[in-house]
């Protein structure tokens, strides 16, 4: 239950051994280099990466839906990778680079041809004869172009009409003839005729009409024929592309793994090179400074020992203002680190809240999802994903799935206690033994009597708030000493505990206990009024501040009410499950012409409905259970602000290695 | 049809209508931004989908309250007699969900959209985006809770 202690080390090593040393350190993956932020200069690795990216883009791997949530790389056995590493596939790379250049050239050509064909088709609407005739006209200018059809209807004057202005005011718009040559669904091809002296004025008024000018080239071949010729050329290009693609496909099938392994290997080797270059301190020596978790120090020191003839190392203190990176160390509660990390890691002098949050988060999640059937689905789904993607998963992903398995178990427990298993009605079960067993387990019936579950939600909220305040009090005692800490947070802890106990006793009808707890709460009020204004000098202000401090109670009440969501969300899941079953039963007996349509419909509704209810509430349960930790719990004692420990290690971009 | 039952049905309609409008607007707002982010980087589909789904819950809560009313008056079986007073009570009991769902769905959609934009730049921060959006949902949950508690305690 802790933030791991970190040790800063300085290592001086002969430059000629630095590369070898760093390569080993990269495999060790427990030392964060902090004195240099070397960026690898991409060289050979980049060539491989480009080749692999090109193949991956050309032949995309079929992606399952789950890959939207988990990043999955192809898996290669380490032994196979070892064999691949024996010989660099340079010939394949060169061949592939050549084919890639070919492919890109052909693709570019195809694009150009397509664009040209589209242009020639557009020109063909006017025809080459018209273009030639227009070019011959001396006094008249013909402007070809197209407008959106809507603009034609609204803005353009009627067909072939004379719009010559009589008043001679050229600035207000030039006179012109307009002729629609062809219309398509969305656009109209036009030709505008005007006197050459009116051309400038006409052009000024055109952009407002959405007019796009087209200049028809005076070429040797008729537009339509040219378009057909280009089409034939495009087909030839496409054929060449198809042949190339077949060749590339066979390369992809046979050599992708080799290229990907080498891309990853070279990128990591180039990172070692970069650090080797950047860490040189003198003509002969390199300096490496960094952090190691104390628990792994021995491992690093043993490794340093192997280079004892070439290096000197020492432990050093952090620089002024330097904060060590954070590593969380937990065993059973390690999966909860994911929830903490989503909020922010503790800084190095703080403690790790994950274990203190673990029971609350897991129980809250169970209360929100609240159906044993869904709990089982969650448990199995998380277990399946954990097994299926055991090689691909990051440590974070693995912890998250294990956390979901914990939550699955808690959901099953809550579901059994509240009598909800896929919303089944236990009374309809054909096995009396099972029915009686499940009914015996059902201690709370939230649908008929919601108050116990609501009370449980609020009670858990009280427990979590008091735990948070206790932690705050302990931290204050360490920082300020006994009495000041009591005045700051300890008195709030006692005061709230007495209020909660009083409320509890009153609700449960324990009159005597309630009376005494009421006195204690009254005493608490007096104590708070007298002490919480202690920082003021003026006695009246002391009293005023003390009274005002009681206003903080509203915040605590708000926090407490926030826990009622556990009840509401739990009820949503359970009732939605009931509704799904109810809707599924409606077409149950439907069987026109003896075809059991109803039964099929029922199965579809059941599967779809329960899957939907499960998924949407799984998301909600996680988010709301986490929110209660962050807003109502962490706010009492936890600051965060630490940074992740990022050891110098092997970074795989393309393949996951499996042992 | 008796007036009490009509009030009750109006309550159910408002609950599902309010929650549904809030959710559809919220999911719509978030979806527009999500599509933009995914257009830039299709890999972010999963993360943006999670955020887009969040404002969808108001519709479900509204549906739940409406269904609760249906069960309460036994609309799908032999309808129970509902006095005009009880009908009005049911109508008013549905309002927390109807109004809370409508407003919170829209605002949650806006927060989810901002969270999606955040994921566009910093994909690892999806958790924080989810929590921001969940802060808004609190009020839909409280509306739902109040509607259910009120409905439970109404005598027909």
Does the pLDDT of residue A532 top 90, yes or no?
no
Q: How far is B41 from chain A (nearest CA, A)?
A: 12
Q: Got the DSSP string for A280-314? A: B-SSSEEEEEEEEEGGGHHHHHHHHHTTTTTEEEE
pLDDT band at residue B85 using 50, 70 and 90 as cut-offs: very high
Instruction: Say if residue A167's pLDDT is above 60.
Output: no
pLDDT of B14 over the 90 cut: yes
* pLDDT score of A156: 52
Contact A335, A395 (CB under 8 A): no
Q: Are A40 and A267 in contact (CB under 8 A)?
A: yes
Cβ distance A561 to B142 less than 8 Å, yes or no, reads yes
Q: What is the mean pLDDT of chain A?
A: 86
Report d(CA A63, CA A73) in Å as an integer. 11
Range from A385-389, A552-556, B139-143 carrying the lowest mean pLDDT: A552-556
**Span A585-604, mean pLDDT?**
82
Chain B nearest CA to A616, separation (Å): 8
- Domain range for B96 is 3-152
- The distance between the two most distant Cα atoms of chain A, rounded to a whole number of Å, is 114
The residue of A577, A611, A620 whose CB has the most chain B CBs within 10 angstroms, and thus the best one to mutate to test that interface, is A620
Spatial CA neighbour of A182 closest among A126, A247, A249, A121: A126
Cβ atoms of residues B21 and B108 within 8 Å: no
Look at residue A307 in the predicted model and tell me its pLDDT. Answer: 85
Q: How many domains does chain B have?
A: 1
Q: Residue A160's pLDDT band (boundaries 50, 70, 90)?
A: very low
Dihedrals φ, ψ of A59, to 5°? -125, 75
CB A88 within 8 A of CB A47: no
A246: enclosing H helix or E strand = helix A223-278
> Which chain A residue's Cα is nearest to B47?
A69
Question: DSSP character for A326?
Answer: B
Which one of A453, A623, A634 would you mutate to disrupt binding with B, by most B Cβ within 10 Å of its Cβ?
Answer: A623
Distance from CA of B3 to the nearest CA of A (A): 26
**Token pair recorded at residue A128:** 């080459």
From the CB of residue A318, how many other CB atoms can be counted at a distance below 10 Å?
A: 13
A642 secondary structure, DSSP code: B
The pLDDT value given to residue A172: 43
pLDDT category at A170 given cuts 50, 70, 90 is very low
Q: Band of the pLDDT at A168, cuts 50, 70, 90?
A: very low
Q: State yes or no: pLDDT of A162 exceeds 60.
A: no
Chain centroid to CA A531? 48
Per CATH, which fold does A128-221 belong to? Answer: Alpha-Beta Plaits (3.30.70)
Tell me which of A150-159, A181-190, A509-518, B136-145 is least confident.
A150-159
Q: What is the mean pLDDT of residues A599-612?
A: 92
What whole-number distance in Å separates Cα of residue A628 and Cα of residue A639? 16
Closest CA to A648 of A206, A275, A224: A275
Least confident among A61-75, A232-246, A331-345, A371-385: A61-75
Q: Give the Cα separation of A220 and A348 in Å (integer).
A: 79
Give dist(CA A596, CA A590) in Å, integer.
7
Q: Where in chain A is CATH 3.30.70.2750?
A: 128-221
Angle subtended at Cα A68 by Cα A65 and Cα A71, rounded to the nearest 5 degrees: 115
- Chain B closest CA to A576's CA: distance in Å? 7
Give the pLDDT score at B1.
62
Name the interface residues of A facing B (CB cutoff 8 Å). Answer: 67-69, 71, 342-343, 450, 561-562, 564-565, 567-569, 571-572, 575-576, 579, 616, 619-620, 623-624, 626-627, 630-631
Residue B118 sits at the chain A interface (C-beta within 8 Å): no
> What is the rounded average pLDDT of the residues A139-150?
87
The pLDDT assigned to A154 comes to: 54
Minimal CA separation from B145 to chain A, in Å? 5
- Residue B99's Cβ-side half-sphere holds a number of Cα atoms within 13 Å equal to 8
Taking the C-alpha atoms of residue A65 and residue A48, their distance in angstroms, rounded to an integer, is 28
User: Which chain A residue's Cα is nearest to B146?
Assistant: A568
Give the integer Cα–Cα distance in Å for A649 and B2.
74
CATH number at residue B139: 1.20.120.610
pLDDT recorded at residue A612: 92
* B152/A450 touch (CB, cutoff 8 Å), yes or no: yes
pLDDT digits (tens, 9 = 90+) for B32-56: 999 999 999 887 888 888 899 889 9
pLDDT band at A159 (very low <50, low <70, confident <90, very high): very low
pLDDT, position B17: 96
Containing A212, the helix (H) or strand (E) segment is strand A212-214
CA A87/CA A258 separation, integer angstroms: 9
Q: What global pTM score does this model have?
A: 0.79
Beta-carbon separation of A623 and B130 below 8 A: yes
Query: How far apart, in Å, are the Cα atoms of B138 and each of A329, A406, A431?
Result: 33, 25, 41
Whether ipTM exceeds 0.95:
no
Size of interface A-B (CB pairs under 8 A): 74
Separation of alpha carbons A369 and A619, rounded Å:
9
């Amino acid at each position: 239950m802790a933030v791991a202690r970190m040790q800063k080390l300085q290592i001086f090593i002969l430059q000629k051994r630095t590369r070898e040393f760093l390569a080993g350190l990269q495999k060790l993956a427990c030392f964060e280099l902090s004195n240099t932020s070397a960026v690898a200069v991409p060289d050979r690795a980049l060539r491989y990466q480009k080749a692999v990216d090109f193949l991956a883009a050309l032949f995309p791997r079929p992606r399952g839906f789950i890959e939207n949530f988990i990043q999955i790389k192809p898996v290669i056995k380490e032994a196979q990778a070892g064999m691949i590493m024996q010989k660099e596939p340079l010939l394949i790379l060169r061949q592939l680079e050549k084919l890639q250049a070919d492919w890109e050239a052909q693709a570019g050509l195809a694009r150009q041809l397509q664009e040209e064909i589209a242009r020639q088709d557009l020109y063909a609407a006017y025809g080459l004869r018209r273009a030639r005739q227009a070019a011959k006209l001396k006094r008249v200018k013909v402007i070809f172009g197209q407008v959106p059809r809507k603009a034609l209807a609204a803005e353009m004057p009627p067909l072939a009409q004379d719009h010559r202005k009589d008043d001679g005011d050229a600035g207000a718009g030039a006179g012109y003839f307009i002729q629609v040559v062809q219309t398509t669904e969305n656009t109209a091809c036009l030709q505008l005729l005007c006197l050459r002296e009116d051309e400038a004025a006409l052009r000024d008024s055109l952009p407002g009409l959405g007019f796009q000018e087209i200049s028809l080239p005076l070429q040797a071949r008729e537009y339509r024929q040219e378009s057909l010729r280009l089409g034939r050329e495009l087909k030839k290009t496409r054929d060449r592309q198809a042949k190339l693609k077949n060749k590339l496909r066979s390369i992809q099938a046979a050599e992708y793994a080799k290229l990907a392994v080498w891309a990853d290997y070279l990128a990591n080797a180039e990172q070692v090179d970069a650090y080797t270059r950047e860490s040189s301190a003198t003509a002969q020596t390199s300096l490496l400074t960094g952090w190691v978790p104390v628990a792994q120090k021995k491992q690093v020191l043993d490794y340093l020992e192997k280079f004892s003839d070439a290096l000197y190392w020492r432990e050093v203190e952090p620089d002024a203002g330097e904060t060590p990176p954070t590593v969380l160390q937990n065993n059973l509660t390690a999966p909860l680190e994911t929830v903490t990390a989503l909020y922010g890691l503790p800084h190095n002098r703080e403690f790790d809240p994950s274990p203190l949050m673990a029971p609350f988060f897991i129980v809250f999640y169970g209360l929100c999802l609240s159906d044993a059937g869904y709990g089982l689905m969650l448990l199995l789904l998380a277990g399946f994903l954990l097994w299926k993607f055991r090689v691909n998963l990051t440590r974070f992903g693995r912890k998250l799935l294990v956390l979901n398995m914990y939550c699955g178990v808690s959901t099953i427990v809550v579901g059994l206690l509240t009598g909800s298993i896929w919303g089944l009605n236990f009374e309809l079960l054909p096995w009396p033994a099972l029915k009686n067993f499940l009914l015996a387990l059902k201690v709370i019936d939230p649908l008929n009597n919601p108050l116990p579950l609501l009370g449980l939600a609020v009670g858990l909220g009280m427990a979590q708030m008091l735990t948070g305040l206790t932690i705050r009090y302990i931290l204050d005692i360490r920082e300020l000493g006994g009495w000041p800490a009591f005045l700051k947070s300890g008195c709030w802890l006692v005061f709230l505990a007495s209020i909660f106990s009083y409320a509890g006793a009153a609700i449960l009808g324990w009159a005597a206990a309630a009376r005494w707890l009421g006195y204690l709460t009254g005493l608490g009020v007096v104590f708070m009024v007298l002490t919480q204004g202690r920082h003021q000098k003026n006695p009246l202000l002391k009293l005023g501040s003390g009274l005002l401090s009681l206003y903080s109670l509203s915040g605590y009440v708000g926090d407490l009410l926030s826990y009622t969501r556990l009840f509401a969300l739990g009820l949503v899941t359970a009732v939605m499950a009931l509704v799904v079953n109810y809707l599924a039963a409606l077409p149950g007996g439907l069987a026109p012409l003896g075809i059991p349509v109803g039964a099929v419909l029922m199965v579809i509704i059941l599967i779809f409905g329960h899957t939907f209810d499960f998924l949407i509430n799984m998301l909600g349960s996680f988010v709301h259970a986490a929110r209660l930790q962050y807003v109502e719990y962490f706010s009492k004692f936890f600051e965060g602000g630490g940074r992740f420990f990022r050891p110098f290690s092997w970074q795989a971009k393309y393949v996951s290695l499996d042992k | 049809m008796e007036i009490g039952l009509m009030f009750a049905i109006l309550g159910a309609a408002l609950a599902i209508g309010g929650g549904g409008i809030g959710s559809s607007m919220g999911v719509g707002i978030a979806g527009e931004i999500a599509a933009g982010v995914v257009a830039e980087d299709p890999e972010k589909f999963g993360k943006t989908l999670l955020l887009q789904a969040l404002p969808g819950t108001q519709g479900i809560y509204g549906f739940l309250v409406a269904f609760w009313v249906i069960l309460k008056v036994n609309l799908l079986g032999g309808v129970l007699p509902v006095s005009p007073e009880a009908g009005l009570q049911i109508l008013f009991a549905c309002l927390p969900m109807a109004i809370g769902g409508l407003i919170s769905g829209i605002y949650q959609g806006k927060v989810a959209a901002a969270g999606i934009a955040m994921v566009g730049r910093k994909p690892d921060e999806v958790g924080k985006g989810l929590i921001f959006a969940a802060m808004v949902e609190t009020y839909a949950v409280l509306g739902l809770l109040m509607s259910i508690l009120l409905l439970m305690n109404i005598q027909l």
